[in-house]
């Protein structure tokens, strides 16, 4: 007999042991991650490990981020319900779902067409596609037609900060982006304010490489 996992319990456990215990304090983020069924965003063969403390292979050489990293990025962006958000690198759509359950709307760009389609299907399946648009294409230069954004999240490691992303931010606005070499990066946060650009380092990290015009070729 096969046991059906208690997904809500796994989710609760993930929120407590991986997020609250590591300084994720933003209740909106914790609530969002308690609500979004991550098990539907990982490939079926990895569903049993949907809530483990690590990234998971989603095919096409890409991954769904570790839950903690998704939470940390969303918390760092200080999202609220009036925000218009751009994500670069939708992958399977999980982080878009998390941010979309907090913010007003999310547009997320994905360079692998098959993943863009999977992200769209996943979001539709879990009923979270109402305020989220997945666009297939290169997002390394942002997405001008919906700009400006209150918050931008880049989910792939960039060799440098693309200027167009900073330009597409509102003032005030926030950007999180992993910057470094192909293997290791630091997660940086930008606060764009009337007084100028304020950069901080959040943590060391390891994302898949950002491709496209402003990424690694």
Give the angle subtended at the CA of 161 by the CAs of 157 and 165, to the nearest 5°. Answer: 105
Please, are residues 9 and 28 in contact by the beta-carbon 8 Å criterion? no
By CB under 6 A, tell whether 140 contacts ligand SAH. yes
Which of 63, 75, 122, 168 forms a contact with ligand SAH (CB under 6 A)? Answer: 63
What is the smallest separation between the CB atom of 135 and ligand SAH, expressed in angstroms? 9
Which of 100, 139, 173, 180 forms a contact with ligand SAH (CB under 6 A)? Answer: 139
By CB under 6 A, tell whether 215 contacts ligand SAH. yes
Which of 65, 75, 76, 185 forms a contact with ligand SAH (CB under 6 A)? Answer: 65
What is the smallest separation between the CB atom of 35 and ligand SAH, expressed in angstroms? 15
Which of 156, 165, 187, 205 forms a contact with ligand SAH (CB under 6 A)? Answer: 156
Q: Of 213, 84, 88, 210, nearest to 139 (Cα)?
A: 88
By CB under 6 A, tell whether 39 contacts ligand SAH. no
Two tokens, residue 217: 């070729």
By CB under 6 A, tell whether 109 contacts ligand SAH. yes
What is the smallest separation between the CB atom of 21 and ligand SAH, expressed in angstroms? 21
By CB under 6 A, tell whether 116 contacts ligand SAH. no
d(CA 85, CA 132): 9
Cβ distance to ligand SAH smaller for residue 95 or 103: 95
Please, are residues 119 and 92 in contact by the beta-carbon 8 Å criterion? yes
82 is catalytic: no
What's the 3-state SS for 142-193?
Answer: CCHHHCCEEEEEECCEECCCCHHHHHCEEEEEEEEEEEECCCCEEEEEEEEE
By CB under 6 A, tell whether 110 contacts ligand SAH. yes
Q: Of 99, 95, 102, 143, nearest to 119 (Cα)?
A: 95
* Residues designated catalytic: 65
């Amino acid at each position: 007999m096969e046991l059906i996992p208690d997904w809500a319990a796994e989710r609760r456990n993930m929120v407590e042991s991986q997020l609250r215990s590591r300084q994720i304090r933003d209740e909106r983020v914790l609530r969002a991650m308690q609500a979004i069924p991550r098990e539907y965003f990982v490939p079926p063969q990895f569903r049993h490990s949907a809530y483990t403390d690590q990234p998971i292979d989603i095919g096409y050489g890409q991954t769904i981020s570790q839950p903690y990293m998704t939470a940390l990025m969303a918390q760092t962006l200080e999202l609220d319900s009036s925000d218009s958000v751009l994500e670069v690198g939708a992958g399977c759509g999980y982080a878009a779902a998390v941010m979309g359950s907090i913010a007003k709307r999310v547009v997320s760009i994905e360079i692998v067409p098959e993943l863009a389609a999977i992200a769209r299907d996943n979001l539709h399946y879990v009923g979270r596609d109402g305020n989220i648009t997945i666009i297939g294409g290169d997002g390394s230069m942002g997405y001008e037609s919906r700009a400006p954004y209150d918050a931008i999240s880049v989910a792939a490691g960039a060799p440098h900060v693309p200027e167009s992303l900073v330009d597409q931010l509102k003032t005030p606005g926030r950007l999180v982006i992993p910057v470094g070499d192909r293997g290791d990066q630091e997660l940086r946060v930008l606060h764009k304010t009337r007084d100028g650009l304020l950069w901080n380092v959040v943590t060391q990290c390891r994302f898949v490489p950002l491709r496209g015009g402003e990424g690694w070729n």
